[in-house]
Amino acid sequence: MKLDELRPAPGATKRRKKIGRGPGSGHGKTSTKGHKGHNARSGGGKGGGFEGGQMPLYRRLPKRGFVPHGGRTVYVVVNLEALGGFGPNAVVDPESLTRARLIKGSARSRVKILGEGDVAHALTVRAHAVSGSARAKIEAKGGRVETLGGEVPAS
C-alpha cells in the first residue's frame, strides 16, 4: 500500500452543502433557512450558553473572587536548594539566575525566593520578593538579602 492509494472508507465523507448558489442548485433563494424569522437573519439563532430558557450554567454558579486593577502579581519562584551552584559570597540576582538557566530571560521581571532546601554558604540575594524562611536561612549562613523595587526590563 502506498500513501497515494489511501482513501477514506466508503460513506465516511460527505460533500459540503453549497447554499446560496442560485435556483438550479436546489439551495438558492432562502438558502435552506425558510422564510423570515430570527433564524433566517444574519447572526440569528441562539447564543452560546443558551439552554432553552433554563437558567444557564454560567448564571447558576456563584461568583468567586475579585482581582482589582489588572490582576495579581505573578512571581517566578526559585527555591533555596536551586542556589547550590553559586559559589561563596556570590551575588544572586535575576540576571545571574537567567545565566544559570534557573529562570527564563522573559521571567526576570518578578522573582521570588522561597525557603525550600538549604544554602551551603553565604550569598547576596537580590530578588523582588523573599519568603521569611528563605531570608532566615540566608542570613543564618552570613548572607544578605536585598529586595528589588522596580521591574527588570526584559530583553
Q: Tell me what pLDDT residue 127 has.
A: 94
Q: Is the pLDDT score of 41 beyond 90?
A: yes
State the Cα–Cα distance between residues 148 and 75, nearest whole angstrom.
13
Phi and psi for 127 in degrees, rounded to 5? Answer: -145, 170
- Residue 92: CATH number of its domain: 3.100.10.10
Q: What pLDDT digit, counting tens, does each position of 12-39 carry?
A: 999 999 999 999 999 999 999 999 999 9
In a domain, 42, yes or no: no
- Angle at the Cα of 121 (from 116 to 123), degrees rounded to 5? 80
pLDDT class of 145 with cuts at 50, 70, 90: very high
Q: What pLDDT digit, counting tens, does each position of 53-63 carry?
A: 999 999 999 98
- Total count of residues recorded for the chain: 155
State the Cα–Cα distance between residues 155 and 46, nearest whole angstrom.
47
State which residues form the domain around 86: 76-147
Q: Tell me what pLDDT residue 150 has.
A: 62
In a domain, 9, yes or no: no
In a domain, 3, yes or no: no
Number of domains in the chain: 1
In a domain, 98, yes or no: yes
SS3 129: strand
Q: Are 78 and 111 in contact (CB under 8 A)?
A: yes
Strand partners, 76: 111
pLDDT class of 155 with cuts at 50, 70, 90: very low
In a domain, 140, yes or no: yes
In a domain, 56, yes or no: no
Residue 126: closest CA among 90, 92, 152, 75? 92
In a domain, 36, yes or no: no
Q: Tell me what pLDDT residue 149 has.
A: 80
